[in-house]
């Protein structure tokens, strides 16, 4: 993709397995950037050749290519012991930027300037995301950070020891920048978080290995061994049946009978209730029932009776019968109860 700048995606895995070894990591930011393999093998991996299958996929032409990368892991700890190890957290770098040879060389040069060791090597480089860090905001110059562990053959310098001062420890607990005299030697290119620096002195580590005293391999005499009998005794499950089924069933039956007696056999009835109720209360109750029934009957009948003012009357002088003001065909449902005087 270098000629036509095609987007290419790489996949890496251990030959014969779907994933990479546990110590090996891979990162590729975009299909237009390079893929980076990095990691630090352990002592168990020394002497074992590791074959990594790399598959490239061209996202424009859909072509694929495969290449095998053979990694030979050799031990250098015996010939070059580095007991003094310091881990730095660089905030303005990503892991693939630090893995570049010129950037890593500049960082080791700055560390060597403040440490003054005879031998100085990078032991491990880890992304902050692998240590539980968070993805930074999509803002320019915001990096996820990288941890770089270096080892040397001489004790730590006074500048590196300044992070262990009580004043700087207090400032770190208050989320303030500690005062480090040699920070200006890194600040031009590397922004180091001095509160996250870790200093390890392997020469002072106390071995926790305890010597195991081996015995003769003979167990003490515990008597003659008696294995369990092959025949099993028959077990009576009648008592278990009574406890699990019969007893709960009997209790449920008793409760059912008590409830049935209360609901059915102890009902008072209407006559007994009327005998225990005062007469005046029964009269009021009967009147309320009668009024309610009458109102219901009236609501069923939608016909409205003619008012008295609409009926035929006698003239007081002539004695003639005066007809009603409205005929029988008048809609009685909209007739007013009182007529306007003429």
- Better-scored residue on pLDDT, 118 or 325: 118
Predicted confidence at residue 306, as pLDDT, reads 56
Long-range contacts of 37-41 (CB under 8 A, 24+ apart): 37/12, 37/69, 38/95, 38/99, 38/125, 40/123, 40/124, 40/125, 41/73
**Residue among 35, 36, 30 nearest 7 (CA):** 30
pTM across the whole model: 0.55
Residue 66 has pLDDT above 90, yes or no: yes
Say if 1-75 and 76-205 have the same CATH topology.
Answer: no
pLDDT tens for 192-221 read: 998 988 888 888 765 445 666 766 666 677
β-strand partners of 64:
57
pLDDT tens for 260-305 read: 888 887 766 777 777 777 888 878 888 888 888 888 887 777 565 5
For residues 167-191, average pLDDT? 87
Predicted confidence at residue 330, as pLDDT, reads 46
Question: Average per-residue pLDDT in the chain?
Answer: 81
Topology (CATH level 3) of domain 1-75: Immunoglobulin-like (2.60.40)
Per the listing, tokens 């990078």 go with 122
pLDDT tens for 120-164 read: 888 888 888 888 888 877 777 788 889 999 988 888 888 888 888
pLDDT tens for 327-340 read: 554 444 455 545 55
Question: Which strands sit side by side in the sheet containing 8-14, from one edge to the other?
Answer: 8-14, 50-58, 64-71
DSSP 226-249: -PPPSSPPP---HHHHIIIIIHHH
- Better-scored residue on pLDDT, 101 or 326: 101
Please, are residues 13 and 53 in contact by the beta-carbon 8 Å criterion?
yes
Q: How far apart are CA 162 and CA 192, in angstroms?
A: 14
Rounded percentage of the chain residues whose pLDDT exceeds 90? 14
Long-range contacts of 310-317 (CB under 8 A, 24+ apart): 310/335, 310/339
End-to-end C-alpha distance for the chain, whole angstroms: 111
Predicted confidence at residue 253, as pLDDT, reads 95
Q: Among the CATH numbers 1.10.3470, 3.30.200, 3.30.70, 1.20.1440, which is that of 76-205? A: 3.30.70
Predicted confidence at residue 133, as pLDDT, reads 82
Predicted confidence at residue 285, as pLDDT, reads 81
State both tokens at 280. 């005046």
Domain boundaries along the sequence of the chain = 1-75, 76-205
Q: How far apart are CA 313 and CA 320, in angstroms?
A: 8
Question: 193 CB contacts (<8 Å, ≥6 apart)?
Answer: 89, 90, 91, 145
**Residue among 173, 218, 221 nearest 195 (CA):** 173
Residue 240 has pLDDT above 80, yes or no: yes
Predicted confidence at residue 338, as pLDDT, reads 52
Predicted confidence at residue 230, as pLDDT, reads 74
């Amino acid at each position: 993709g270098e000629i036509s700048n095609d987007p290419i995606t790489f996949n890496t895995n251990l030959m014969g397995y779907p994933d990479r070894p546990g110590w090996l990591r891979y990162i590729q930011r975009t299909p237009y950037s390079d893929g980076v393999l990095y990691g630090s093998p352990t002592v168990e991996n020394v002497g074992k050749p590791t074959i990594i299958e790399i598959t490239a996929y061209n996202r424009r032409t859909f072509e694929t290519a495969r290449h095998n990368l053979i990694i030979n892991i050799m031990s250098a700890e015996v010939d070059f012991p580095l007991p003094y190890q310091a881990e730095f957290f660089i905030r303005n770098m990503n892991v693939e930027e630090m893995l570049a040879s010129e950037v890593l060389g500049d960082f080791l040069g700055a560390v060597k300037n403040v440490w003054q060791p005879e031998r100085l090597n990078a032991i491990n480089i880890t992304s902050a995301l692998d240590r539980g860090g968070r993805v930074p905001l999509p803002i320019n110059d915001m990096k996820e950070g990288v941890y770089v562990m270096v080892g040397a053959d001489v004790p730590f310098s006074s500048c590196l020891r300044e992070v262990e001062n009580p004043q700087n420890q207090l400032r770190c607990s208050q989320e303030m920048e500690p005062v480090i005299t040699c920070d200006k030697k890194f600040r031009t290119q590397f922004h180091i978080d001095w509160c996250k620096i870790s200093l390890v002195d392997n020469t002072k580590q106390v071995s926790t290995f305890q010597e195991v005293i081996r015995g003769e391999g003979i167990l003490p005499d515990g008597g003659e061994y008696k294995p369990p009998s092959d025949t099993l005794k028959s077990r009576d499950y009648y008592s278990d049946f009574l406890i699990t089924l019969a007893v709960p069933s009997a209790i449920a039956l008793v409760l059912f009978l008590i409830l049935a007696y209360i609901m059915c056999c102890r009902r008072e009835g209407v006559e007994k209730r009327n005998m225990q109720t005062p007469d005046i209360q029964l009269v009021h109750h009967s009147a309320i029932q009668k009024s309610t029934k009458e109102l219901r009957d009236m609501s069923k009948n939608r016909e409205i009776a003619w008012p008295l003012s609409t009926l035929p009357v006698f003239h007081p002088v002539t004695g003639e019968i005066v007809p009603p003001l409205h005929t029988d065909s008048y809609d009685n449902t909209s007739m007013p109860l009182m007529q306007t005087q003429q």
